[in-house]
Structures are given as structure tokens and as C-alpha cells.
Amino acid sequence: MRPAESSGAVQWRLVVPAVLGALALLATLGQGAALVITDVLIMVLFASSLNLLTSYGGMVSFGHAAYFGLGAYGLALPLAKLGLPLWAGLALGPLAAALGALAIGALCVRLTHIYFAMLTLACSEIVFTILFQAYDYTGGDTGITKFMAPRLGLDPRLYGALVLAIVSACLLLLWKVVRSPIGLAIRAVGEEPHRAAALGYSPRMVQLVAFVIAGTLAGVAGTLFAVYQGNAFPDYAGIGFTIDALVMVVIGGLHSFAGGVYGAVIYTLLKTFVSRYVTEWELVIGLILLAVVLVSPAGVAGGLGRLGHALGRRSA
Amino acid sequence: MVAVQIVNGLMEGMMLFLIASGLTLIFGITRIVNFAHGSLYMLGAFLTYQLVSHFAPGSLGGFAASVLLAALAVAALGTLFEILVLRRIYGADDLMQLIITVALVLVLRDVVQMAWGRNDVVVQMPDALAGALRIGGSYFPVFQLAIFGAGLAVLAVMVAVIRYTRAGILLRAATDDRGMVALLGINQARIFTAVFAVGSFLAGLAGGLASPFGNINYLLDTTVIVTAFIVVVIGGLGNLYGALAAALAVGVLKGLGVLYYPRLSMVLIFLIMAGVLVVRSLGRQTVGK
């Protein structure tokens, strides 16, 4: 039940149509749709970063939003309080997330299973509470606003294209990481920590590397989100966003690289469109989650994979 | 002032114990981390609100009956969820077990909003328990004292069952070694269902008992579950007595924290939670298991 991509090569015949399709949608559907697509793309990156930990590293983080939030505040705080230029904020956002993931990860990789999950929860709640309580610096629950024009003042379609480029680049990087020797080490430790240790790997070090990569990419997503919204709120680091990402990964499909992508697309679109017609969109998500876990534990990606296999067998 | 805050903290701590006891019981036996525990608590509070209106306003008997009925209804729901859903995923992926109860959280949050709306509701305090008692020159609300008593009663019943009944023996055995209990020919599924029912009952009971304390709304689930996790983790996952000690300690810490460092107290509590986890890991081989 582990990721079983057949080769290390990037599957361009899937990637190119997906990217071109997103560009075409951005260009043709108008500004409102561009906002939704941008939201989806940012969540794709956030969920995929968590997916590195859950599907490859065998680590269930209950505090992944902490790095999303650090990415947002790493941008917003220096701009609002120190008056730093925009480019500095764009660099400091992911950097803050990376440093946060390094510090918290160094503690968390000492633990496994539920204890790991609970420690990531405690650490992320510390981040959330500090953002929430340090009213003088972060503005508490009123957040930080008006430190920059939302979406850099760009047309939503243009900002969407920019986010598409950045998210695509990050996902390619993530794919390269997963297929690289360190990626194989992450999978080895995730599946069989004892055997990996016997082969000479330091499980904790490997897990920490995975944790920092995942945290940094979540930080990039958080920074993009703060630019998109033009604000930063403590909730970005809260348990709500963490659960969103976990649900996305499970719906999309555990143990599949594309799981985070499918999950984020389905979840965000449902949230956007179902909530327009009925207020009970969470009920719908909950029922889908139940259905996935009970009917197709490998999620949408697993279901599509099985479909592909069945079709391939028939044509062969 | 300090003494009053300590006593208030102890009373809040007993409330925390009522919340955490069901969660730690469920984890101890089934290894399921029930994220929906806060949602079941919330449902217990809303159901109590609904039921109380059918009795004479302010009557103690009406309140007690409402809380009990609400807790039983919540227990029924928990039992149903265990039988229909959880039973299929014992032994599945870690993440599956951790995430499946989130589905119930999402569903219940919307069900509660559909049934009772998004505004706060308030449960009237029973007249007999309103007011305050003068002890040693300070006043203590009678209702909180009653909650403290209820917490002690629940604890006494749980301890008695665990120590002196056959069910308790099975519980202790299943906590130590599930596989061994199964080998002895005991039906594990029945133990799990019973434990989930009792745990859900305790969640509903806590929600009902606490309902006159503050406003009840659909956002209660997250705050309650995070607090419950803190207590259960500090007390040692699955450890009932640990949960009691941790609940009282966290309650007192909160009470004193409000006095001295209102802003830092929550950070401090999460730091303790993280510290407990890290310190516990020191003596353990952490790879695999």
C-alpha cells in the first residue's frame, strides 16, 4: 500500500495538460473563477507538503498549519512592523516556516505514532496561541491587515498564473525530492525504521529532513495565501487548517503523490460551490470522508489507479 | 485571593476530568484517538438545552433528568458509530484511525447548526444550585461545588467498576494486552463497543453538566477537544488516574494563570504538554514499536 510510481521520470503527459488546462481556465473564466483557482492551487501545495510526511514519511502531523501560519506571518510581520520591502517579506515567510519546522521537528522526530501526532499538535497550538495572544505584535485575533495590496495589486488572473508557476515549480521539486536518494531514505524510514537504521540511516535525521522540507513548502503556501488575501490571521496556524489538509490528503488518496493534489482540488471546490447552495458543506465533506475510508481507503488517487489498471487490462 | 483561585481551579479541573475521562478510557482500550469527543460533548450540551425546556424551568430534577437522557442519547450515537464505522478500521493505517473520527466532527458540527442554528443558547441553572456558599470568608458558587461532587461520584463509580467487577477485569486486561485477551476467547469487538458507549456517555454527561456554565454554540467542539487532549496527554494516554491528576493540575494552573499571567497561561499549558511528551520519550526506544 505504499507509493508505487513506476519510474522516476516526471509524467509530463499528465503534468503539461494539467498546467495548460489551469492556464486556459484562468484566461477564459474571468476574475471570480481566477480567485477560486488560485485558492485551489495554494491548497494543492499545502496538502502536498503534508502528504510528504503522511504518505512517504509515515508521520501523521496534527500541527501542519503552524508552518502555513508562519509563512503568512513571516511575510506580514516584517512588512507591517519593520517596514521591510516586499521582496524581503516574500523570502522571510518560507524562511520563518523552515526555521519553525526545524525547531519543532527536532523535538517531534524523537516520538512516533500517536505521541508524534500529539506533540505536533501541542507545538502548533503554541505557535497559534502566541500569534493569538501577543496582541501588541500580531494584533491578536484582529490579525494583520493592510500591509500590502492583496495579490500584489495584480489582476486576479495574473496573480493566479503566478501562483500556478510557483506551485508547479514546488511540486516538481517535491517530486524530485521523493525520487532522490533522500526521498528513498524517507520512504524507507517511513515503512521500516528498524531496517533503515540497520542499513546505516539515522531515522531521526531522515525524518527531520522530511519535516523541514514539508514545513518549508507549507510556508511557501502560507506566504502565497497571505499575499492572496492581503492579510494574516492566527487561524492560518490553527487546528482548522491542519484538519482541512489532513482531510484533503485522505480524500485524495494516501500513499500517492497525486493524493494531495486531488484532495485539495475536490475539497476546495466543494467548499466553494456547495457552500453557495447549502450551508451544510462540512456535512457533505464528512460523508465523503466516511465513504472514502470505508469504500476506497486509497482515496480518489487509488480509485483512479484501479480504474486505469482495469481499462489498461481490457485494451491489452 | 490565591486560595480562592486554587479552589476555583480545582472545580474547573474536575470539569476537565469529566471531559477527559471518556477520551482516555477509549484510547486506553481501543487506541482510537476520538477527535469527535468534543463534538459529543457539544451534542450533550445542546440536547440538555432542548430537554430542559420540557421540564419546569429551574427545577433540579428536570435538569438532572435532561442531562442523563442527553448523555444516554449521545452514548447511543457513539455506539452506532463504533459498530457501523470504527469496527471496520481497527488495525488499518495509523492515519485512517486518526482521521476517521474527524468525519464525525464535520457531520455533527453541521447537524448541530441545522438543529439549533449558529447563535449561542443558554441553559438555565437549576434554582437549587444557583447562588453561592460562604466558606471561610469567601463565596463559592453552589453549582460548581455540585459539579465537583458529580465528578467525584463518576470517579468513584469508574474506580469501583474497574476494580471489582468482571467487566473491570476485562478492561484492565485489554488495556495491558489486547491480543492476549482475544486469545482467551473474549469477544474483543464487544469490549470495544462497550468502551466506546461508556466513553461517549461520559462526553455527553460532561457536556450536559457543564451546559449552564456558559454559552453553548457550534464552535464548542474544537475548544473542548483541544483541552481534553491536553489533559489526557499530560496524564498519560489511557491512564485514568493520571487524567484526574492532570485535570486538577491544569485547572489550578489556569486559575492561577488568570491571576498572574493571563496571556501566558495557555502557552505554558501547551509547553507542559509538549514537555511531558518529550520527557516520556527519553526513556523509551522511539524507533518503531
Alpha helical stretches, state H, chain A? 12-28, 31-51, 65-77, 86-108, 113-133, 135-138, 156-179, 181-191, 193-198, 203-229, 239-252, 259-277, 281-295, 299-315
Distance of CA A188 to the CA centre of its chain: 22
- Cα–Cα dist B28/B232, whole Å: 10
Shortest Cα distance from B284 to chain A (angstroms)? 9
Q: What is the CATH number of domain B2-282?
A: 1.10.3470
Split at pLDDT 50, 70, 90, the class of B286 is very low
Q: Which amino acid is at B252?
A: V
Shortest distance, CA B260 to any CA of chain A (angstroms): 15
> Nearest chain B Cα to A1, which residue?
B93
The pLDDT tens digits for B98-129 are 788 889 999 999 999 999 988 899 888 888 88
**Chain B neighbours among A 170-199 (CB < 8 Å)?**
193-194, 197
List CB contacts (< 8 A) between A54 and chain B.
Answer: 95
Alpha helices in B91-216 (DSSP H): 94-116, 142-164, 166-176, 178-183, 188-210
pLDDT at A217: 98
pLDDT value at B54 more than 80: yes
Residue A145 is classified by DSSP as E
Can you tell me the distance from the alpha carbon of A304 to that of B107, in angstroms, rounded to the nearest whole number?
26
Q: What is the mean pLDDT of chain B?
A: 88
Cross-chain CB nearest to B281 (options A58, A110, A197): A110
Q: Do B98 and A114 touch (CB under 8 A)?
A: yes
H or E element that contains B225: helix B220-235
CA distance A56 to A184: 9
> ipTM, 2 decimals?
0.87
For B188, the grid coordinates are 474483543
- Quote the minimal CA–CA distance from B267 to chain A in Å: 6
Name the residue with higher pLDDT: A312 or B85: B85
Q: Which residues of B touch A127 (CB under 8 A)?
A: none
pLDDT beneath 70: ranges in chain A? 1-8, 313-316
**What gap in Å lies between CA A109 and CA A193, rounded to an integer?**
12
Q: Quote the pLDDT of residue A315.
A: 57
> Is any Cβ of chain B less than 8 angstroms from the Cβ of A82?
no
Residue tagged 469527535 (cell numbers) = B36
Question: B interface mutation test: which of A1, A55, A107, A112 has the most B CBs within 10 A?
Answer: A112
Burial of B73 (0-12, 13-18, 19+ CB in 10 A): buried
Q: Do B267 and A194 lie within an 8 Å CB cutoff?
A: no
Q: Would you call A282 and B106 a contact, using CB atoms and an 8 Å cutoff?
A: yes
Give the pLDDT confidence of B198-224 residue by residue, as tens digits: 999 999 999 999 998 888 988 888 889
DSSP-derived secondary structure letter, A134: -
Residues 6+ apart with CB under 8 A from B49: B116, B121, B122, B123, B211, B216
Residue of B nearest to A60 (CA): B95
Closest-CA distance of chain A to residue B285, Å: 9
Q: Provide, as residue numbers in chain B, all residues whose Cβ is less than 8 Å from the Cβ of A62.
A: 98
Residue A290 has its nearest CB partner, among B95, B103, B278, at B103
DSSP state of A56: I
Across the A/B interface, how many CB contacts are shorter than 8 Å?
138
Q: Looking at beta carbons, which residues of chain B come within 8 Å of A279?
A: 110, 113
Q: How far is B63 from chain A (nearest CA, A)?
A: 30
pLDDT recorded at residue A309: 78
Beta carbons of B233 and A289 less than 8 Å apart: no
Question: 3-class SS at B283?
Answer: coil
Among B166, B150, B138, residue whose Cα is nearest residue B60: B150
pLDDT beyond 60 at B73: yes
**Range of lowest pLDDT (A75-79, A173-177, B92-96, B226-230):** B92-96
Residue B196 has pLDDT above 50, yes or no: yes
**Could you give the residue ranges of the DSSP H alpha helices within B165-187?**
166-176, 178-183
pLDDT tens, residue by residue, B132-175: 888 777 788 888 889 899 999 999 999 999 899 998 888 888 87
Q: What is the pLDDT of residue B215?
A: 84
The pLDDT value given to residue A15: 83
Which residues, listed in sequence order, are joined to residue A231 by a DSSP beta bridge? A145
Q: Which amino acid is at B161?
A: V
What residues of chain A lie within 8 A of the CB of B89, using their CB? 293-294
Contact A126 B114 (CB under 8 A): no
Distance from CA of B110 to the nearest CA of A (A): 6
Domain extents in chain B: 2-282
pLDDT tier for residue B287 given thresholds of 50, 70 and 90:
very low
The C-alpha angle with vertex A199 and arms to A195 and A203, in degrees rounded to 5, equals 70
Question: Which residues of chain B are within 8 Å of residue A113 when distances are taken between CB atoms?
Answer: 94, 289
For A297, the closest of B96, B103, B104 (CB atoms) is B96
Q: Mind telling me how many Å the CA of B97 is from chain A's nearest CA?
A: 9
CB contact under 8 A, B95 and A254: yes
